[in-house]
Amino acid sequence: MSITASLEALSSFWQDIRASIPSLPAEVPEAWAFGATPAHADGLLDLVLSGVKTGTASSVWDYEASGDPMPEVGDLSIILDGRGTPRAVIRTTSLRTVPFSEVDEEHAHAEGEGDRTLAAWREIHERFWRNHSEDPRGWAPDMPVLCERFELVHPAR
């Protein structure tokens, strides 16, 4: 399931953000939601807005299957809630690709999910990729995982 927002809503949101942070570029960044369901998107967005979630992980296989470009350090993203409403802006601060089995405790903690342990991270993400991967391979212990860290640039109130 893909959560989307209208171009009008994104443009209006971005204009409002740029009014308070004029140094941001004029071009509206990519907009997306965390998770695979509206409820999941809302829960993960809440973790971002509260400052708990400062990292995310993506399957490199999913980027390959979808043809979507992989993020780069410095990229801005508009984060949507489960209804597709723009709610926040984040900036990618670091990226590294490692096998699933080599994701570390620090990254698991930064993702903010469950009890923030590596064991919880592994269980949550294995289940997610088995059930929601865009690539038919789904999940494997050696699958390439893009570990992304980000900072919250602007929360929409």
- Report field, pTM of the whole predicted structure over 0.75: yes
Residue 93 lies in a domain: yes
CA 87/CA 13 separation, integer angstroms:
8
pLDDT of residue 125: 96
- Note the pLDDT of residue 28: 97
With respect to residue 141, please indicate whether it lies within any of the assigned structural domains.
Answer: yes
pLDDT at 156: 45
Q: Does residue 2 lie within any of the structural domains?
A: no
pLDDT at 45: 97
- Say if 44 falls within a structural domain: yes
Across-strand partners of 76? Answer: 91
Task: Say what the pLDDT of residue 76 is.
Answer: 98
The residue range of the domain holding 25 is 7-155
Note whether residue 138 is domain-resident: yes
Copy the structure tokens of residue 111.
């993702």
Q: What is the pLDDT of residue 67?
A: 94
The domain total for the chain is 1
Q: Is 133 inside any structural domain?
A: yes
84 within domain boundaries? yes
The verdict on residue 128 lying in a domain is: yes
Own/partner contacts of 120-124, CB < 8 Å, gap of 24 or more, are 121/57
Residues in the chain, pLDDT under 50 = 156-157
Handedness of CA 50, 73, 146, 134 (dihedral sign): positive
Name the residue among 100, 130, 128, 101 with its Cα closest to residue 114: 128
Q: DSSP E strands: which ranges in the chain?
A: 30-32, 55-59, 76-80, 86-99, 144-155
CATH number for the domain harbouring residue 73: 3.10.400.10
